[in-house]
Amino acid sequence: MTIDQRGPALPDARGELSAAVIGHLRGEGTPLPDARAVDRAEPYGEDLQLALYVCYEPHYRGFAGVDDGCEWDPALLTARALLEGRFLTALRRDAAREHDLDDALGELLVEPVHGSGVSHYLQEEGRLWQLREYAAQRSLYHLKEADPHAWVLPRLWGRAKAGMAAVEFDEFGGGRAERVHARLFADLMTDLGLDTAYGRYLDAASAGMLATVNLMSLLGLHRSLRGALVGHFATLEITSSPGSRRMALALKRAGAGAAAELFYTEHVEADAVHEQVVRHEVIGGLLEEEPQLTADVVFGIDATVFLEDRFGEELLGHWRAGRSSLRVPLDDGPEQGPKG
Q: Please, which pLDDT band fits residue 83 given cuts at 50, 70 and 90? A: very high
Average pLDDT, the chain: 93
Whether 26 contacts 10, CB under 8 Å: yes
Residue 215 near residue 82 (C-beta atoms within 8 A): no
In the prediction, which pLDDT does 110 show? 85
Residue with more model confidence, 70 or 1: 70
Residues 212-223 have a mean pLDDT of: 98
Q: Is the pLDDT of residue 279 over 90?
A: yes
Is 3 a residue whose pLDDT tops 70?
no
pTM: 0.94
- Phi, psi at residue 67, to the nearest 5°? -60, 125
Distance CA 316, CA 322 (A): 10
Residue 271: is its pLDDT beyond 80? no
More confident residue, 267 or 86: 86
Which homologous superfamily does the CATH classification assign to the domain defined by 101-320?
Answer: Heme oxygenase-like (1.20.910.10)
Average pLDDT for 51-72: 96
| pLDDT band at residue 30 using 50, 70 and 90 as cut-offs | confident
Q: How confident is the model at residue 131 (pLDDT cuts 50, 70, 90)?
A: very high
C-alpha torsion 208→211→212→215, nearest 10: -160
In the chain, domain spans: 16-94, 101-320
At residue 2, does pLDDT exceed 80?
Answer: no
Cβ–Cβ under 8 Å, residues 204 and 327:
yes
Ordered alpha helix ranges (H), 26-127:
35-40, 46-56, 74-94, 101-109, 118-125
Select from 153, 174, 154 the least CA-distant residue to 163: 153
pLDDT at 7: 85
pLDDT band for 4, please (50, 70, 90 cuts).
low
Question: How much is the average pLDDT of 286-307?
Answer: 98
Q: What are the residues facing 67 on neighbouring strands?
A: 3
**pLDDT tens digits along 156-209:** 999 999 999 999 999 999 999 999 999 999 999 999 999 999 999 999 999 999
pLDDT of residue 20: 98
> How many other β-carbons are positioned within 10 Å of the β-carbon of residue 178?
8
Q: By percentage, how much of the chain surpasses pLDDT 70?
A: 95
pLDDT of residue 333 exceeding 60, the answer is: no
Per-residue pLDDT at 1 exceeds 60: no
Give the number of other CB atoms < 10 A from CB of residue 180. 17
| Cα angle 228, 271, 309; round to 5 | 55
